[in-house]
Structure 1
Amino acid sequence: MEVLKTNVLPMRIKLIFNPGSGSNDDSPQQMLAVIKEMQAWKFIPEIYLTAPDCNLKTVVEEAIAQGIELFVVCGGDGTVTAVTKAMVGSNATLGIVPTGTQNNVALSLGIPTDIPAAVAILREGRDLKIDLGMVTCNNVSTPFIELCSVGLFSTLFPSGDDIQHGNIARIGDFLGILATSPPSEIHLILDDNREISELGHAALISNMPYIGLNYKVGAVDAYHDGFLDVLFFSDLSKLDLIGYILNGVGTDSPEDPRIQHYRVREVVIDTEPSMSVMADGISLGEGSVRIEVQRQALTVMVGSTESNDGQ
């Protein structure tokens, strides 16, 4: 390891650090640890601290114009997805040092949460062109790296995310939404022109093998197999769905047979009444959506996913 470190060439990178990811108390120590490891690998990090109103698209464009080709995100899934959107269409490469709560993208890509091991992947890992999803809602197209949701999960996400990050005052909001949200007639048109129309509460479209609380919903190579995984929850009650949120599928037990699971290149979803749509934690409004896979749309430094297979 030390021989490799002393023989690599210095490399400028853009380090995009989210001081609000994970535990805020750990952020200063995490940043120091990341910088120390990067310097050991002869990276020259140019640090950018994210803020709620920051324009990452401009940050990425300016860095690329200055000759930087590797962008390293130090944060959770929210920061990774925000930087991903900013990088779409460029030839730059994304690296990840996961310091968030769930870190599904990192888990899916074989990137450990151990900081030295994650930084080492930036030198020792392999660069891979991965797929992205593209969702079009209300005539606006938005890329996503992890997940698009239609229905109850989208409606519950804001309060659920706050609760997960320690704001227990939102439990009342969460339960109120759960109690009052009605089902809709959900109509899916799959890319083989097969049509499915049933009363239900939610559909999830995943580009990654892991979503939610590290639940495995797709193959280990789901992010570059040319397909999206569609999970349609038509036969599950709202209590069943809460059980899904808490217990997951594909972890210690097989996927619930009531969940309809399809692999598609494209799916169109209509709901009546209209249901909320969300992509990687960002609300896109309500209405009909078209979701399709974008092949090899982003270059990412990845580790080994062999240990994830079969989980």
Structure 2
Amino acid sequence: MTPASRNRALGGAALAAALFAVLGFFVTRDRAPLDAFDTEGRRLEDWADDQALLVDVLRFVEVAFGTIGMTVLTVLLALVLLLRRHRWAALLVVVVMSVTSLATTVLKRWLGRDRPDWQDALGEHVNFSFPSGHASSVAAFAALLVMLLVLFVRRTSLRRLGIVAVVAWWLLVCLDRVLLGRHFPTDVIGGSLLALTVFFLALAFIDPRPRSIAGKAEPLPEVYASEKRLAVILNPIKVEDVGQFRSLVASMAAESGWSEPTWQYTTIEDPGTGMAERAAVSGADLVIVCGGDGTVREVCAELAGTGIPVGIIPAGTGNLLARNLGIPLYIRSAVDIALNGQDRAIDMVEVGGDAMEDTHFMVMAGMGFDAAIMEGVNEDIKKRIGWVAYVISGLKSLMFPAVRVEIQIDDDEPTVHRARTVLVGNVGFLQAGMPLLPDATIDDGVLDVVILHPRKFLSWIPLAVRVLAKSQTVDELIDRRTGSRVRIKAATDTPRQLDGDSIGVGRELRMECIHGRLLVRVPR
């Protein structure tokens, strides 16, 4: 954390603490300035008493977000962050929630303000009132959620939606305390100010951002001396602030001993091929590509076989290649790995078929239901809500009709199947983290094929259960094959996709795995 960031956090803590202290003085010593404001709580409680359904909802909110409920939420959030290897963010969550709870309890006993005498009789609270424990715990948790949304959610629309939902939840709980008469309005304000004080104070000393993955590791031995020339290929529509991104990469590159990077931007006409070619010709020792799966695929294909490693900064919706290589989606961590990670030789796949030019893919190809999903995605919705657009398209395409397909693996005799979708993968995890091909690895020189044929709508349920359980059972519902060369031929025109991008309808796909063709930067 920079000194400026720490000073801002300390400033926020000081302001919240000062406001809390002033409020605490007035409500416990000389309440005259706030009497009129607090007595409005009686009117609100009287109004709520006449709304039977509302009272039931308020009591549910009271129980759900009490001490037990917030403890469960805290533990769950910390565990999720730990599983995603965000240890410092998890520590911040535990510290903020624990200190807030302790401070609330201590201050309640010290200040000793009595509860309102008009509170709802059912489940009447008899302990002290200021500050509100519900308000402080929810405000602390809400502040943590907003921080995590700002840090880890790139899409502006989703981040704003999340922040609005979090603030609405906090306001609901605060209003619940007043409408049930459990607290004066100043109690919930005081609880929220206390939570913000603890949050900002903890934030000044605990940086929740992921630490440098390679920063503490010993430098990798150089096979040959290089000038450490760095080229960056960026899809400019995939980052919110191009200038900020350039500054981040340049500063981290300088810290890691790389040259000032050269920059190239992709266009609709050239999604990365020409830029990658120019970077290779200019003698770059490392090429960093920032964009979605389509941009990454084009750059990787052009640099395959050159011996120039590719650093991937995932900035798309699926980011399938990055996910399967263990590259984090947090931009700073991904840049760190691109600059300081180790090189890994991975496979790429050459692909051809009818009504298409010969091309390639890094992650997967498919015919049928999965391709219909990609074809049916509304791009405007995708820009606004990201991966949810795929869910909407998937629901629309769920009963895509089964087709008759002929599949040939290597030089074996072709086999005939009925299938709703056929997927050929170079990796194990596909969209939404589904382990459709659990035995697939990206550097084994082998393609994994899965044939899915749920006969009825309800057949998707056992299919999903078997996929998530990584079942090895093979039958008509889920069939699996492996080989270095795969040919799929459908009886009718069928939607097709490569790495999540629709390539139109056709009847054939021919694929061959090229072993160890590309060098990519991965975590050490």
TM over 0.5: same fold?
A: yes
2:191 is the counterpart of 1:191: no
SS of 1:52's equivalent in the other structure is coil
1:147-162 matches, within 5 Å, as 147-160=364-377, 162=379
Residue of structure 1 in register with 2:486 after alignment? 267
Following TM superposition, by how much is the alpha carbon of 1:255 offset from its aligned partner in structure 2, in angstroms?
4.4
Contact 1:16 1:48 in 2 (8 A): yes
User: For 1:41, which of 237, 251, 256 is the aligned residue?
Assistant: 256
Residue of structure 2 aligned with 1:19, choices 228, 236, 249 = 236
Report the CA distance between 1:64 and its aligned residue. 1.8
**Which ranges of structure 1 fall in alignment gaps of 5 or more residues?**
305-311
Work out which structure has the larger RCO, using CA pairs closer than 8 Å and 6 or more positions apart in sequence.
1
Q: Is the 8 A contact 1:217 1:249 kept in 2?
A: no
Q: Cα–Cα, structure 1 residues 269 and 240, in superposed 2: closer, same or farther, change >3 Å? A: same
1:241-294: CA deviations, max 9, x gaps?
A: 6997xx79754x334953212222112111111212222214054022211211
Distance 1:239 1:212, change over 3 A: farther
Instruction: Name the structure 1 match of 2:360.
Output: 143
TM-score for both structures, normalised by structure 1: 0.80
The DSSP-based 3-state class of the residue aligned with 1:128 is strand
Question: Could you say which residue in structure 1 is the equivalent of 2:498?
Answer: 279
Quote how far apart the aligned CAs of 1:210 are.
Answer: 2.1
Within-5 A mapping of 1:1-311: 1=215, 11-21=228-238, 25=240, 28-43=243-258, 44-54=260-270, 56-138=272-354, 140-160=357-377, 162=379, 163-166=381-384, 174=393, 178=397, 181-191=400-410, 193-219=412-438, 222-237=441-456, 250-251=467-468, 253-255=469-471, 257=473, 258-280=477-499, 281-283=501-503, 285-304=505-524
Q: 1:161 to 1:20 in 2, by over 3 A?
A: farther
Give the Cα separation in 1 of the matches to 2:264 and 2:244. Answer: 16
The structure with the largest strand share of the pair is 1
Q: How far off its partner does 1:51 sit?
A: 2.3
Mapped partners of 2:217, 2:369: distance in 1: 53
Structure 2 vs 1, CA of residues 215 and 135 (structure 1 numbering), >3 Å: closer, same or farther?
same
Go from structure 1 to structure 2 and tell me whether the alpha carbon gap of 1:175 and 1:41 turns closer, same or farther (over 3 Å shift).
closer
TM-aligned CA distance change 1:248 to 1:10, over 3 Å:
farther
What is the CA-CA distance between 1:211 and the residue it aligns to? 1.3
Give the C-alpha shift of residue 58 in structure 1.
Answer: 2.2
- Pick closer, same or farther for the CA change 1:105–1:239 going to 2, 3 Å: farther
One-letter amino acid of the counterpart of residue 233, structure 2: I
Q: Which range moved further: 230-239 or 135-144?
A: 230-239
- Looking at structure 1, the residues matched to 270 and 240 of structure 2 have their Cα atoms a distance apart, in angstroms, of 22
What is the TM-score when the length of structure 2 is the normalising length? 0.50
Q: Is the 8 A contact 1:75 1:97 kept in 2?
A: yes
Task: For residues 127-157 of structure 1, give each alpha carbon's deviation from its aligned partner in whole angstroms, at most 9, with x where no partner exists.
Answer: 1221111211027321100110111221220
- Distance in 2 (alpha carbons) for counterparts of 1:220 and 1:85: 24
Aligned residues of 1:213 and 1:248 also touching (Cα < 8 A): no
**Whole-angstrom distance in 1 between the partners of 2:252 and 2:285:** 19
Bigger drift between 194-203 and 214-223 goes to: 214-223
The residue type paired with residue 48 of structure 1 is Q
Contact 2:271 2:294 in 1 (8 A): no
Separation (CA, whole Å) in 1 of partners of 2:492 and 2:448: 24
Q: Provide, for residues 21-45 of structure 1, a one-character-per-residue CA deviation record: whole Å limited to 9, x for no partner.
A: 2xx5465544433333222213221
- Call closer, same or farther: CA 1:174–1:97 in 2, change over 3 Å: closer
CA-atom RMSD in angstroms: 3.5
- Among the aligned pairs, what percent are the same residue? 23
**Which runs of 5 or more residues in structure 2 are unaligned?**
1-214
